[in-house]
Amino acid sequence: MTARRDIEAITERIRQRSKVGREAYLSRIAEASSRTANRAVLGCGNLAHGFAVCSPSEKIALGGDRVPNLGIITSYNDMLSAHQPFETFPALIKEAAREAGGIAQVAGGVPAMCDGVTQGQPGMELSLFSRDVIAMAAAIGLSHNMFDAAVFLGVCDKIVPGLVIAALTFGHLPAVFIPAGPMTTGLANDEKAKVRQLYAEGKVGRAELLEAESKSYHGPGTCTFYGTANSNQMLMEIMGLHTPGASFVNPGTPLRDALTREAAKRALAIAALGNAYTPVGRMIDERSIVNGVVGLHATGGSTNHTIHLIAMAAAAGIALTWQDISDLSEAVPLLARVYPNGLADVNHFHAAGGLGFLIRELLDEGLLHEDVQTVWGEGLRPYAVEARLGDDGGVVREAAPLQSGDEKVLAPFKQAFQATGGLKVLGGNLGHAVIKTSAVKPERRVIEAPAKVFDSQQGLNDAFKAGTLTGDFIAVIRFQGPKANGMPELHKLTTVLGILQDRGQRVALVTDGRMSGASGKVPAAIHVTPEAVEDGPIARIHDGDVIRLDADAGTLEVLVPGTEFALRRTADADLIGNEFGFGRELFAGFRQLVGRADHGAAAFGSA
């Protein structure tokens, strides 16, 4: 009961804080909704351009606003496993739209980059900014004013948050998100991690490493660990932007295709020309955002969403803060153990009962707002289901199982893995940071040790190869924030620090850069704000300064006398090497305009 009251109080706090911005946003989309006969306002030349390639009957229908037109925003490319399945989706959607008496057109494509490909490479410095590019690219597609509703085809890291920002910017339009699903299970994630460590120690070669990686990432769909991509899918379902049960069905299956067709028809049904007009900007409110944060904590999701959820909420006029996210973590237990928080992958999670089971458990305990609106209709209870393929090839739904299929993967509420969620905000004389604790053993959540300071992850890796990372220490990797170099993920640190921890050293990480849902067993205070390039305190740390990271108490302190620390000069870093090559020169404006991590790290103002 206390947790339920806490969640209600935090929701009300967000509502009151957001009152002015939310009212202004709703006023804007109400004005846009009053012009929902979109094509009627277009001149004949405008309209002729918009339906030039349509059939004669489609031109007649579109010319008179007689049928709804569904815009498809797609992140398809055939290099990346998560997005390759979208190649066939537009044809399925168009066919389903015709069956429902509507029309569908591909409104535009958005870029989709893979952090797995760019990890530790120069391209990673474009990753976070790609979210804002995706939002803007989707806006260009929808700007033609030809559409009554939109479906968004996206899965991974920055793609879904960018698409959500775009959908909410066009909040007068209904929006349904359609996932592609996870790849089938390959080499176990913990086995892959072992091979990575052996390679880092020089005990196996590149051939063995590539073989292990290829067995892990082996086919169409998202990676199977619980990183940002699969956290995205959880969020879209628990926030009501997917149809029920859609998130974790493998690509290339009859059920996946049936769910895609159903989602297209549902998008048309909730258009203004349908029977249940549901503009996404009204549908997503403070309760929906809180439900997303609750789901993130209950599943031990990606730390990237401490940035993305703030930016997504801002697009709907809602002011979410790190403190809100941290306070909600104290009220929500951890119910899932999916790698790196456990040995299972998302396919095992889905088989154990998946989101339907988890949503039902949280609803029954009053930890989710049930009285929300979704693309499926009123209330979140219809999402406590499993989707299956019916005899007629359509989707049927059954109530989620009453018991978990594997309580080591998905726990009932009363047997939660831990009493609180997996994310926490740290504060102290180094500013504020985020830590993911769900994969960190309790005895490693408090680390006090001298600092070893580096200005890049390569610097630490070089020190590891040189054998100088001895004893207990806290690695400080700075000048990795959004203004410095786009805030890349720093996963090349994970293997090295994991090896040292396994050797018995007490180690931790403090950085103004990012990790992600793949943050592992080493305690890591990330997203440190203010960042070093903005003269944040992290830029005044010296080698040997003792730092105390206390994830239990929620503190991050450098144990240097206050006066001495305040009088220190901030370090400078030569960032010229981060400004050119792999397109980084094109993003100079983004680095100048980007906001702080705790404000969503957006390069444009909130909607």
SS3 546: strand
Q: What is the DSSP letter of 418?
A: B
Helix or strand or coil: residue 156? coil
Integer Cα distance of 390 and 394 in angstroms: 5
Quote the CA–CA distance of 579 and 43 in Å, as a whole number.
44
Residue 447, strand partner residues: 549
The amino acid occupying position 305 is H
Is the separation of the CB atoms in 374 and 174 below 8 Å? no
DSSP H helices, 77-176, are 89-99, 115-118, 127-142, 159-169
Q: Is the Cβ–Cβ distance between 138 and 163 less than 8 Å?
A: yes
Q: Is residue 525 within 8 Å of residue 556, measured between CB atoms?
A: yes
Under DSSP, is residue 416 helix (H, G, I), strand (E, B) or coil? coil
- Residue 199's SS3 state is helix
- The torsion angles phi and psi of 444, rounded to 5 degrees, stand at -110, 10
State the amino acid at position 24 in one-letter form: A
Q: Which residues pair with 446 in a beta bridge?
A: 550
Residue 393 corresponds to which amino acid? G
Instruction: State the Cα torsion 481-485-489-493 to the nearest 10°.
Output: -90
Element (H, E) at 480: none
For every residue of 262-293, DSSP letters joined together read HHHHHHHHTSTTSSS---HHHHS-HHHHHHHH
Q: At residue 230, what are phi and psi to the nearest 5 degrees?
A: -75, -25
Tokens standing for 71?
A: 């815009």
601: left (phi over 0), alpha (psi -120 to 50) or beta: left
The DSSP bridge pattern shows strands 524-529 and 431-436 to be antiparallel
Q: DSSP of 337-392, one letter per residue? A: -BTTSSSB-HHHHHHTTHHHHHHHHHHHTT-S--S-EETTEE-SGGGSEEEEE-TT
Place of tokens 């998302």: 346
| Maximum pairwise Cα distance, the chain | 78
Q: Which amino acid is at 444?
A: R
Token pair belonging to 567: 């009088």
Please name which of 240, 325, 368 lies closest in space to residue 599, comparing C-alpha atoms.
325
CA pair distance 244, 238, nearest whole angstrom: 9
Q: Which amino acid makes up residue 466?
A: A
Instruction: Find out whether 156 is annotated in a ligand binding site.
Output: yes
d(CA 176, CA 477): 40
Q: 454: closest CA among 420, 480, 424?
A: 480
223 is in an annotated binding site: yes
CA 325 – CA 306 distance, rounded (Å): 7
Residue 325: CA atoms inside 13 Å, Cβ hemisphere, count? 34
Beta bridge partners of 377: 374
| Binding site per annotation, positions for [4Fe-4S] cluster | 156, 223
- Residues at the annotated binding site? 156, 223
